[in-house]
Chains A and B, each alone.
Chain A
Amino acid sequence: MFSKILIANRGEIALRVIRACRELAVQTAVVYSTADADAAYLKLADEAICIGNAPPKESYLKPDRIIAAAEIADVQAIHPGYGFLSENAHFAEICRTCKIEFIGPTPEAMAAVGDKVECKRLARKAKVPIVPGSEGEVENEKQALRIAEEIGYPVIIKAAAGGGGRGMRVAHNDVSLQGGLRQAQAEAENAFKNSAVYIEKYIEMGRHVEVQVLGDHHGNIVHLWERDCSMQRRHQKLVEESPCPVLKPKTREALCTAAVRLVKAAHYTNAGTVEFLLDRDQNFYLLEVNARIQVEHPVTEAVTGIDLIKQQIRIAAGETLPFKQEDIEQRGHAIECRINAEDPSRNFAPSPGVIEQLRLPGGAGVRIDSHVYAGYRIPPNYDSMIGKLIVHRPTRSEAVATMRRALAEFHIAPTSTTIPLLLQIMDNQNFQNGDVDTGFVERVMLTK
Chain B
Amino acid sequence: MDVGLLARLVELMTRHDLNTVDVRDGDRRVILKRGGIGGAVQGVQPPATFTPGGAPSQTLATSAVPTAARAEEESRNYRITSPMVGTFYAAPKPGEKPFVTVGSLVTEDTDVCIIEAMKTFNNIKAECRGTVVRVLAQDGQPVEFGAVLFVVTPS
Interface residues, chain A, CB within 8 Å of chain B?
Answer: 3, 22, 25-27, 34, 42-53, 59, 64-65, 67-69, 71-73, 98
How near does chain B come to A150, taking the closest CB pair, in angstroms? 50
Q: Using Cβ atoms and an 8 Å threshold, which residues of chain B touch A67?
A: 117-118
A72 to B47 alpha-carbon distance, docked (Å) = 17
- Asked if B45 is at the interface (CB within 8 A of a chain A CB), the reply is yes
By the criterion CB–CB under 8 Å, are A22 and B52 in contact? yes
By the criterion CB–CB under 8 Å, are B44 and A65 in contact? no
Given contacts A3-B53, A43-B46, A47-B58, contact A64 B144 (CB under 8 A): no
CB-CB nearest 9 A-B residue pairs: A72-B142, A68-B117, A68-B85, A50-B144, A25-B52, A50-B145, A49-B144, A69-B85, A68-B86
A45 to B46 alpha-carbon distance, docked (Å) = 10
A46 to B60 alpha-carbon distance, docked (Å) = 13
Q: Using Cβ atoms and an 8 Å threshold, which residues of chain B touch A69?
A: 85, 144
Of A45, A50, A51, A67, most buried by chain B (CB within 10 Å of CB) is A50
A65 to B144 alpha-carbon distance, docked (Å) = 9
By the criterion CB–CB under 8 Å, are A44 and B85 in contact? no
- Asked if B51 is at the interface (CB within 8 A of a chain A CB), the reply is yes
Of A26, A51, A72, most buried by chain B (CB within 10 Å of CB) is A72
A327 to B61 alpha-carbon distance, docked (Å) = 50
How near does chain B come to A35, taking the closest CB pair, in angstroms? 12
How near does chain B come to A439, taking the closest CB pair, in angstroms? 44
Mask of B130-147 contacts with A, CB within 8 angstroms, 1/0: 000000000000111111
| Count of CB-CB pairs between chains A and B under 8 Å | 77
Other than the known A34-B145, A46-B55, what 9 A-B pairs have Cβ atoms closer than 8 Å?
A: A45-B45, A47-B44, A50-B144, A50-B145, A51-B85, A65-B85, A68-B86, A72-B85, A72-B143
By the criterion CB–CB under 8 Å, are B53 and A25 in contact? yes
Q: Using Cβ atoms and an 8 Å threshold, which residues of chain B touch A44?
A: 48
Could you pull out 28 A-B pairs where Cβ atoms are within 8 angstroms?
A3-B53, A22-B50, A26-B52, A27-B52, A27-B53, A42-B44, A43-B45, A44-B48, A45-B45, A46-B47, A46-B51, A47-B44, A49-B60, A49-B145, A50-B146, A50-B147, A51-B145, A52-B145, A64-B118, A65-B85, A68-B84, A68-B118, A69-B85, A69-B144, A72-B85, A72-B87, A72-B142, A72-B144
By the criterion CB–CB under 8 Å, are B52 and A64 in contact? no
By the criterion CB–CB under 8 Å, are A51 and B144 in contact? yes
A25 to B54 alpha-carbon distance, docked (Å) = 10
A333 to B114 alpha-carbon distance, docked (Å) = 57
Interface residues, chain B, CB within 8 Å of chain A?
Answer: 44-48, 50-53, 55, 57-58, 60, 62, 84-87, 117-118, 142-147
Q: Which of A27, A49, A72 contacts B44 (CB 8 A)?
A: A49
By the criterion CB–CB under 8 Å, are B117 and A71 in contact? yes
Given contacts A45-B48, A72-B142, contact A98 B85 (CB under 8 A): no
How near does chain A come to B4, taking the closest CB pair, in angstroms? 44
Of B47, B55, B142, most buried by chain A (CB within 10 Å of CB) is B142
By the criterion CB–CB under 8 Å, are B53 and A64 in contact? no
Q: Using Cβ atoms and an 8 Å threshold, which residues of chain B touch A53?
A: 145
Of B62, B142, B145, most buried by chain A (CB within 10 Å of CB) is B145
By the criterion CB–CB under 8 Å, are B145 and A42 in contact? no
By the criterion CB–CB under 8 Å, are B118 and A71 in contact? yes
Given contacts A27-B53, A72-B142, contact A49 B85 (CB under 8 A): yes
Q: Using Cβ atoms and an 8 Å threshold, which residues of chain B touch A73?
A: 58, 142
How near does chain A come to B42, taking the closest CB pair, in angstroms? 12
A71 to B86 alpha-carbon distance, docked (Å) = 8
A125 to B56 alpha-carbon distance, docked (Å) = 52
A67 to B85 alpha-carbon distance, docked (Å) = 9
Q: Using Cβ atoms and an 8 Å threshold, which residues of chain A touch B47?
A: 46
How near does chain B come to A57, taking the closest CB pair, in angstroms? 14
Q: Which of B50, B57, B146 contacts A34 (CB 8 A)?
A: B146
Nearest to B120 among chain A residues (CB) is A64
Given contacts A72-B85, A72-B87, contact A50 B44 (CB under 8 A): yes
Q: Using Cβ atoms and an 8 Å threshold, which residues of chain B touch A52?
A: 145
Q: Using Cβ atoms and an 8 Å threshold, which residues of chain B touch A47?
A: 44-45, 57-58
